[in-house]
């Protein structure tokens, strides 16, 4: 009962922040609401007893990605000066279409998908299992991801270095 | 249970709470609230003492007395400062973004206060013994970075913005060596729980003694994370006039000030836990109360060293700082993680392994210092040659 109430409050907060991200006119405030959304998702992970994932979410999304987004907003000239409207002339038809699509998807997700319901408790050594599977079962995707990150790092340094030649 | 164990208080409180017949969720909630209030009080009052200590240490190093008029030995000076900051006029720039301008100081203090919850003050005395204690420390540090960006941007001031960018660049760069240095004790203890890390350092097997290079690396990264001299370019009056908290006056500035000193205390506490054995010490098994005393002694020594360094060294330029982080500390951290990972799997006796580890650490430090010294000597020669050339032309 208590968990239901907490879950409802947290998801309300997350969805409200996400809604404000899309509809707010000031771009910087949208970025801040995005940070709020990330925190809400981290709280949902805590409710699911996946604490490692929650802390990793805060570390990666709030600490790195949100910072990068805010940096990009600040360094773009003219992004902050005008108050742009998030709507255009096709707002009505687009709204109708997205509501219809949303209802269809919700129906499919809630009633047509076989959601697995697990009654077992969460094992206490999730971190050890995560580490073991990262270097055991999922070794190749792990190494490929690090190669991808290395390529991105080299590309970023190459683009941003001073042209002194 | 041992009569001198501070956990007796917790047991007594819990039994009383259960006897009142409240439902279980309410008991959990009340316990969490009490712990939060205790941690809040502890954090905020210890900052009062830390500010006084900073002024006294800096004063004595500079061969003067420091505050000694307000109260015995000037101990009430910080209270007077806080009262002054409270009653100051709260000036907000006209074109500042209201929401983030007002939110930034609170977020900075929030990020630092949350760190208090995973620090083990004594055996069994930890507010929230989460399985991922070390990762939690890093995550909360990264929230503070967000607050600096908000402060720098919403002040609508070029210097604040520039200071904010530089601060974020510095904090993000030095987070990597800090994480690498923190991984070394985690590899050896086999757990990320803070209490587990302290218990793995029993019998004088402190990680700071066995692996001094990791301790030094963490210490340097913590100095930079706290924006202390010699890494305090962001708030230096001669460089950028208080950086990202230029436009903050009165209580809002007091919040940033609070966050700064609380960060000092917490980083010392964390380095004590990770590298100096936390609450371990002689006779801690028989008298668990000694654990708290040992912890506070060690943490105070670390705080004193932080302040001593601040009073002694000049500051680095921003490019020197960044070069130091990326070209020296990150490779050092990677090498240390490699060494730790290799040594934790070697089939040696514990004493032999610790000795070999100590020697390897010294070798790594010597190589690093040698390379750094050679590079700096070449730079100095090049600089003096260039100055000679331009003065002759």
- DSSP conformation letters of B357-371: HHHHHHHHHHHHHHH
Q: Which residues of A touch B142 (CB under 8 A)?
A: 58-59, 62-64, 67
Q: Which residues of B touch A126 (CB under 8 A)?
A: 131
Question: Which of A 30-49 lie inside 8 A of B, CB atoms?
Answer: 32, 35
Q: Which residues of B touch A71 (CB under 8 A)?
A: 149, 165, 168
Average pLDDT over chain B, rounded to an integer? 87
A27-47 vs B98-113: helix crossing angle, rounded to 10:
30
Q: Chain B closest CA to A93's CA: distance in Å? A: 34
Statement: residue A81 has pLDDT above 80: no
Task: Tell me what ipTM this predicted complex has.
Answer: 0.84
Statement: residue A31 has pLDDT above 70: yes
Q: Which residues of A touch B172 (CB under 8 A)?
A: 64, 67
- pLDDT at position B123, please? 85
Residue pair B178/B222 in contact by the 8 Å Cβ criterion = yes
- Out of B130, B143, B145, the one facing A51 most closely (by C-beta) is B130
Q: Which residues of A touch B130 (CB under 8 A)?
A: 51
The answer to whether A58 contacts chain B (CB < 8 Å) is yes
Nearest of A107, A100, A91, A39 to residue B139 by alpha carbon: A39
Q: Chain B closest CA to A128's CA: distance in Å? A: 9
The answer to whether A51 contacts chain B (CB < 8 Å) is yes
Residue pair B109/B259 in contact by the 8 Å Cβ criterion = yes
Indicate yes or no: CB of A62 within 8 angstroms of CB of B97: no
Residue pair B168/B145 in contact by the 8 Å Cβ criterion = yes
Query: Which residue ranges in chain B fall short of pLDDT 70?
Result: 1-3, 236-242, 393
Q: Chain B closest CA to A57's CA: distance in Å? A: 9
Nearest of B268, B292, B351 to residue B120 by alpha carbon: B292
Q: Which residue of chain B comes nearest to A70, CA vs CA?
A: B149
Q: Which residues of A touch B141 (CB under 8 A)?
A: 63
- pLDDT at position B166, please? 86
- Out of B99, B146, B172, the one facing A29 most closely (by C-beta) is B99
Indicate yes or no: CB of A62 within 8 angstroms of CB of B146: yes
Burial class (CB in 10 A: 0-12, 13-18, 19+), A18: middle
Statement: residue A52 has pLDDT above 70: yes
DSSP secondary structure letter of residue B191? -
Residue pair B255/B106 in contact by the 8 Å Cβ criterion = yes
- pLDDT at position A78, please? 64
DSSP secondary structure letter of residue B159? H
Indicate yes or no: CB of A63 within 8 angstroms of CB of B142: yes
Residue B212 and residue B203: Cα distance in Å, rounded?
17
Q: What is the mean pLDDT of residues A67-78?
A: 81
Residue pair B180/B337 in contact by the 8 Å Cβ criterion = yes
Residue pair B202/B238 in contact by the 8 Å Cβ criterion = no
Residue pair B100/B248 in contact by the 8 Å Cβ criterion = no
Nearest of B149, B273, B257, B281 to residue B222 by alpha carbon: B273
- % of chain B at pLDDT higher than 90: 34
Indicate yes or no: CB of A70 within 8 angstroms of CB of B146: yes
Q: Chain B closest CA to A3's CA: distance in Å? A: 10
Statement: residue A82 has pLDDT above 80: no
**Cα→Cα distances A147→A68, A151, B175, Å:** 21, 6, 21
Statement: residue A165 has pLDDT above 70: no
The answer to whether A20 contacts chain B (CB < 8 Å) is no
Query: Mutation test of the interface with chain B: which of A59, A72, A73, A149, choosing the one with the most B Cβ atoms within 10 A?
Result: A59
Indicate yes or no: CB of A28 within 8 angstroms of CB of B153: yes
- pLDDT at position A147, please? 95
Indicate yes or no: CB of B143 within 8 angstroms of CB of A63: yes
Average pLDDT over chain A, rounded to an integer? 87
Indicate yes or no: CB of B145 within 8 angstroms of CB of A67: yes
Q: What is the pLDDT of residues A118-143, one digit of tens each?
A: 777 777 778 888 889 988 999 999 99
- pLDDT at position A97, please? 93
What residues does each domain of chain B span?
Answer: 7-375
Q: Which residues of A touch B103 (CB under 8 A)?
A: 32
Q: Which residues of B touch A65 (CB under 8 A)?
A: none
Burial class (CB in 10 A: 0-12, 13-18, 19+), B361: buried
The answer to whether A62 contacts chain B (CB < 8 Å) is yes
- Out of B131, B136, B150, the one facing A127 most closely (by C-beta) is B131
């Amino acid at each position: 009962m208590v968990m239901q109430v907490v879950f409802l409050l947290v998801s309300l907060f997350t969805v409200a922040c996400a809604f404000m991200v899309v509809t707010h006119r000031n771009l910087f405030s949208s970025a801040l609401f995005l940070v709020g959304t990330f925190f809400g998702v981290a709280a949902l992970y805590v409710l699911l007893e996946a604490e490692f994932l929650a802390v990793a979410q805060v570390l990666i999304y709030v600490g790195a990605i949100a910072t990068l987004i805010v940096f990009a907003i600040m360094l773009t000239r003219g992004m902050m000066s005008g108050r742009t409207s998030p709507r255009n002339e096709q707002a009505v038809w687009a709204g109708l279409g997205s509501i219809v699509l949303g209802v269809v998807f919700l129906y499919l997700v809630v009633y047509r998908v076989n959601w697995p319901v697990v009654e077992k408790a969460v094992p206490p050594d999730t971190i050890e299992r995560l580490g073991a599977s990262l270097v055991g079962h999922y070794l190749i995707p792990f190494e490929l991801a690090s190669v991808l990150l290395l390529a991105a790092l080299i590309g970023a340094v190459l683009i941003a270095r001073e042209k002194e030649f | 249970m041992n009569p001198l164990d501070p956990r007796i208080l917790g047991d007594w409180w819990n039994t009383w709470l259960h006897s009142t017949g409240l439902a279980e969720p309410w008991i959990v909630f009340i316990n969490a609230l009490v712990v939060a209030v205790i941690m809040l009080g502890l954090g905020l009052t210890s900052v009062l003492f830390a500010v006084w200590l900073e002024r006294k240490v800096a004063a004595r190093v500079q061969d003067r007395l420091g505050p000694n008029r307000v109260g015995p030995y000037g101990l009430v000076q910080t209270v007077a400062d806080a009262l002054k900051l409270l009653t100051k006029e709260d000036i907000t720039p006209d074109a500042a973004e209201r929401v983030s301008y007002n939110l930034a100081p609170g977020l900075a203090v929030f990020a630092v206060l949350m760190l208090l919850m995973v620090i083990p003050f004594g055996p069994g005395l930890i507010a929230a013994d989460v399985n991922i204690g070390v990762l939690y420390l890093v995550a909360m540090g990264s929230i503070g970075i967000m607050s600096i960006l908000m402060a720098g941007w919403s002040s609508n001031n070029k210097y604040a913005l520039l200071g904010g960018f530089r601060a974020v660049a510095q904090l993000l760069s030095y987070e990597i060596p800090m994480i690498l240095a923190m991984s070394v004790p985690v590899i050896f203890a086999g757990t990320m729980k803070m209490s587990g890390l302290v218990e793995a350092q029993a019998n004088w097997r402190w990680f700071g003694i066995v692996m001094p290079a990791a301790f030094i690396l963490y210490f340097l990264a913590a100095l930079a994370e706290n924006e202390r001299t010699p890494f305090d370019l962001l708030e230096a009056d001669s460089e950028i006039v208080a950086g990202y908290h230029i436009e903050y006056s009165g209580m809002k500035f007091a919040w940033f000030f609070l966050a700064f000193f609380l960060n000092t205390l917490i980083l010392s506490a964390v380095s004590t836990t990770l590298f100096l054995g936390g609450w371990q010490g002689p006779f801690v098994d028989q008298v668990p109360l000694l654990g708290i005393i040992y912890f506070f002694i060690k943490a105070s020594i670390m705080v004193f060293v932080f302040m001593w360094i601040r009073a002694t060294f000049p500051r680095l330029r921003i490019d020197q700082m960044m070069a130091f982080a990326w070209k020296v500390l990150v490779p050092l951290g990677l090498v240390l993680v490699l060494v730790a990972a290799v040594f934790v799997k070697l089939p040696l006796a514990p004493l032999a392994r610790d000795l070999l580890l100590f020697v390897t650490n010294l070798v790594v430090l010597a190589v690093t210092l040698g390379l750094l010294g050679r590079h700096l000597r070449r730079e100095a020669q090049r600089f003096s040659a260039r100055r000679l050339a331009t003065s002759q032309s």
